[in-house]
Structure 1
Amino acid sequence: MSIYERELKGVLQGNKKVLENMIKSCDGNIKKIFGKTCEKPFIVIRAAGSFGIDLVAVREDFSFPIEVKASVDDVFHFSDDPRLTEQVEALRKECSNAGVIPIYAFRLKRMRGDPWRIFTLNVDNIKGRIKLFYERLPKLEKTASGNYVMRWEHGMPLHRFIEYLC
């Protein structure tokens, strides 16, 4: 498990030590929002295998398969590895069949403040209360040549994601 997967896992589980380390450079309001995960934590399980899911976060009201990506560049190109594009399509199909929201968590390295941005894929069969949440999440973009890309600046900050969920 990468250090970034461990960091996100700790944040979603409400691990105070992980939270303290990550939010050192955040303002007071953002620190308060991150602290909400201590009150309403997720169970976060490492997903082994090559399906393209790193973590699964589960709570009474929400559950998400999560793929974690990290880069020093603020744009993550899935076209850099053809296998990544195959994984995106497989995850999109599986989540559409199950009516589940897939989460892509993009960690910008060497970033102060909230370094995480959250994205999802365009999937079908999202119903009920979670559909309202799904509609607010930024979707992975596609380039003119049809390749997936994540632009960090277009993502939802992790603290906003947590604010919606907690």
Structure 2
Amino acid sequence: MAAPGDTYERELKYLLSGDEKAIAKMVKTCDETETQAYGSMKDFPFMVIRAAGSLGVDLVALRWDFSFPIEVKSSENDVLYMSKNARLVEQANRMMEDCDRCHIIPIYAYRLKGVRGDPWRIFTMPSESRLRGRAALLKERIPKLDVSKGGNFVMRWNDGMKLSELLSYVGMSNYDDRE
């Protein structure tokens, strides 16, 4: 039997990989804009690798124009306090350090259970890491995780970017550019 989070890791993997069945299931309650954004993954999918390890990341999404590690979280609550679990704090700190060192965008994907429409929200981590080109532009568009008074990360689902908005944004790349 799969661990509870594995279901949503797989769902996100299949969505980003352009899997037609996963996309059709996801867009049943989505509006037209969300549906079009998810549908764009059929034509311009990511190669998505499931990663292993409790202190690593869950997924790595790779494509010619954007690549990023993704940590997947899910909950029935619209706010997730990472300070409630020491392992989550250590995991977040390690992910931020690794991404800063390598100059890549860390992504947190938060799946709220029982939501109609796009149930996924995307966040990145507040960081001083300098990125270049499209990665820098993308990092500025994605909402940052909140930081509590105690210095711990907090995810507020309502404050995140819809996954469909992220897909629409990365879909604006010029795939016909032969430079």
**Contact preservation (8 Å) 1:47, 1:55:** yes
Letter of the 1:54 partner, please give it. D
Q: Does the CA contact (< 8 Å) of 1:98 and 1:125 recur in 2?
A: no
Question: Which residue in the other structure is 2:144 paired with?
Answer: 139
Q: Which residue of 2 aligns with 1:87?
A: 91
Q: 1:23 maps to which residue?
A: 27
Alignment partner, residue 118 of structure 1: 122
CA RMSD of aligned residues (A): 1.0
By how many angstroms is 1:105 displaced? 0.1
Deviation at 1:52, TM superposition (A): 3.3
Tell me the number of residue pairs that the alignment of Structure 1 and Structure 2 aligns. 166
Judge conservation of contact 1:52–1:88 (CA < 8 Å) in 2.
no
The normalised TM-score by structure 2 is 0.90
The answer to whether the aligner puts 1:61 opposite 2:74 as a matched pair is: no
**Counterpart position of 1:150:** 155
Separation in 2, partners of 1:144, 1:88: 17
- What is the one-letter code of the residue matched to 2:143? P
Identity across aligned pairs (percent)?
49
Structure 2 residue 46 is the aligned partner of structure 1 residue 42: yes
**Equivalent AA in structure 1 for residue 134 of structure 2:** R
Check whether the contact 1:75–1:151 (CA below 8 A) recurs between aligned residues: yes
Superimposed CA distance per residue, residues 59-78 of structure 1 (whole angstroms, 9 cap, x where no aligned partner): 01111100000000000110
Structure-2 separation of matches of 1:56 and 1:67: 9
Q: Which moved more, 1:69-78 or 1:44-53?
A: 44-53
Q: Which runs of 5+ in 2 are unaligned?
A: 172-179
1:46-66 CA-to-partner distances (Å, cap 9, x unmatched) read: 001122300000001111100
Deviation of the 1:27 alpha carbon = 1.5
Q: Is the 8 A contact 1:67 1:103 kept in 2?
A: yes
Matching residue within 2, 7, 12 for 2:11: 7
Contact (CA 8 Å) 2:55, 2:90: kept in 1 or not? Answer: no
Aligned: 1:108 with 2:112: yes
> 1-side partners of 2:91 and 2:75: how far apart?
18
Deviation at 1:79, TM superposition (A): 0.9
Offset at 1:33? 1.4
Cα distance in 2 for partners of 1:51, 1:84 equals: 8
Deviation digits for residues 72-130 of structure 1, max 9, x if unmatched? 00001101101111111111011001000010000000111000000001230212221
Ranges in structure 1 where 5+ consecutive residues have no aligned partner? none
Q: TM-score, normalised by structure 1?
A: 0.97
Opposite residue 120 of structure 1, the aligned amino acid is T
